[in-house]
Structure 1
Amino acid sequence: MKQSLIIAVCFLGLVSCTNDPDPTPAAPTHEALSVLDEELYTPKGKIKASRTNHLTPLTGYTYRYYDARGNNVLRVRMSPEDKDTLSISIFKFDEKDRAIENLFFTYEAGVFEWTTSLTSIFSDDGLREDVYKASVDAKEAYRYSYIYNADGGKTEWRFGYEENTEKYRYVYENGRISEEHWVLENGEIFEQYHYRYRDDGLLEARETSGTRGKMDDATQYEYNASGQLIEVRNYDQYWGFAYTGMTEYVYY
C-alpha cells in the first residue's frame, strides 16, 4: 500500500492539517525534510511500529514508512498514547539499498530541528563500512567501523579505525552467527555471547558468559505464527539476570 505522508502525519499529529493564518515566511528547512512531501509506502509484512521500555513504562510508538523499493526512509517517534510527535529520523540509501545516512530531527512547536546525523562510507569492495557522526555544534567525526564477509555478514564492529582496537567479533556457523566476542585492545576476550536458534532456524536467545563463567539468557526473542519478530526481552547479567525491559514490534 502506498500513501501520501500528509495523510499519515495528520493522523499522528506530525503536521497541522489546517491552514495557518500567520503570513510569516517559513524558516529555511533541511533538504532531507523533502521526504515529508514524497509518496511513502506501508508494505504488508514490513514493520509498522515499535516501542521500548527499559525499567520504565513503555514509550510511545515509533512508526516506520518506506520508499517504493521497500527501504525504511522515515521513522516518526510519538509520545505515549500517540498524542504528540517527538522526533523523526530520515534515512538515505544508495543504489545498492544500503543505508548511507541517518538524520535525526527533534520536533517542537511545529518546527523540525536537525540535531545529529550518522554517515556511512563503504569501501569499494563493500567489505568495510566506516561511520561518522556530525551534529550542530561539532564537526563530522569518526565513530566506528563494520567489517563484512563476502556474503554480507557482519564479522566485526570496531570502535577504532585500526584492526587492533576494541571490538565485537562475530563467528559464523552454517551461514548464521553462532558466537559474538567482546574483544579488548590487548586481544583479550572480555565477554562472549552465544546465539541459540529454534528448530525452524529463528533466533531464540543470545546468551552471555563473561568473567564469572556463568551462562544465562541475556536476550530472548519471540515471534508470531508468521515468523515475524514481535518481542525482544532483555535481562541484566549483573543483577542476577533480572528482567530489565523489552522492545515490541507490530506489522503492516
Structure 2
Amino acid sequence: MLKLDTMELADAFSPKELVDEIYRQCPDITPPVPVKELAYAAGIIKIEPIDTESIEGMLVTGEGKEYGVIYFNKSNNRPIGRQRFTIGHELGHFLLLHHNGNRTCSNADVSFSSYSLDTIEKEANDFSQLLLLPEHLLKKEFDSLLPSIENLQEISDLFQMSFEATANKCTKYGSKPFALFYSKDDKLRYCWRDFKKVPYALNIDKGELLPESSQARQLKVKEQSVSEEVRVQASCWFKNTEKHKLPEIMIEQTFFQKNGYKVTLLREK
C-alpha cells in the first residue's frame, strides 16, 4: 500500500516539484502509475465515475482541503487513458495549495495540450502528465527501443495512457530521432518532435495535404491498422535550412486510426 507524507507535499508549489516529491517518497512505482492509490494516499476519500457530457472531472473538498472526492467522466466508453488523466488532473487541483478546492472541469479544461488554458487548469494538466508519464520511467522503458508505431503502442498500453500523449512524450527518447505527423482526412493537424533532435523545417503547413508521394497519402487501408516501414526521401516531409542539412533517406510508417485520423512516424535510419 502506498503512503505519502502530505506535510512534505505541502512544501511543493509547482506541478514538477509536487511530482518529484511524490516519486521521492514512492521510488518503487512502476507503470502503469497507480493514480487512484496515490490519490487515496494523498487524502482523497472517494473516486467515482459520472455519466455526463458537460463535465469531464470534478473535485469536491472540505473547507481546508483536508479531504476530497474526485469524479471523472466515464460516459461514451471514455478510453482508460482519458479517465486516468482526468483523475490525475483533479488530484493536481487537490494537492496544489493555491488551487481552490471545489472545482468543475470541462472537456477543454482537461487537456494534454494545455497551451490555451488559464494558469490553474494548465498546472493541473501539467501535474497529471508529469505524474502519469514520468520522464524517468519513460526513459527506462523506451530509450533503447527503435521508434516505431508498434513500440509506441506497447509503451502506451504499458502506461495505460493514450497513444498520442505517450508517443509525443517519447519523442525525447528512443534509439533514433523521430517526428510524428498527425492528420485528419489527409490534412496535417500538427507535427510533434523534439526540435533538438529533429531540427528540420517542415515541407507542409497545418491544414495542407500530406505529401502526395508519401505512403501516408497513397495507401488506402482499413481503420486501426499499421503500415509497413518504407524508405522515403526526407525532402518529402522536410526541407533543408542553412543550419541543418537533411539526411537523404528516412523511414516512414503510418497508423491508420478511425474516422480519417492518421499518425505518421518519420525517423532517421
Q: Which has the higher helix share?
A: 2
TM norm structure 2: 0.25
TM norm structure 1: 0.26
Q: Which has the higher strand share?
A: 1
Q: Which has the higher contact order (CA 8 A, sep 6+)?
A: 2
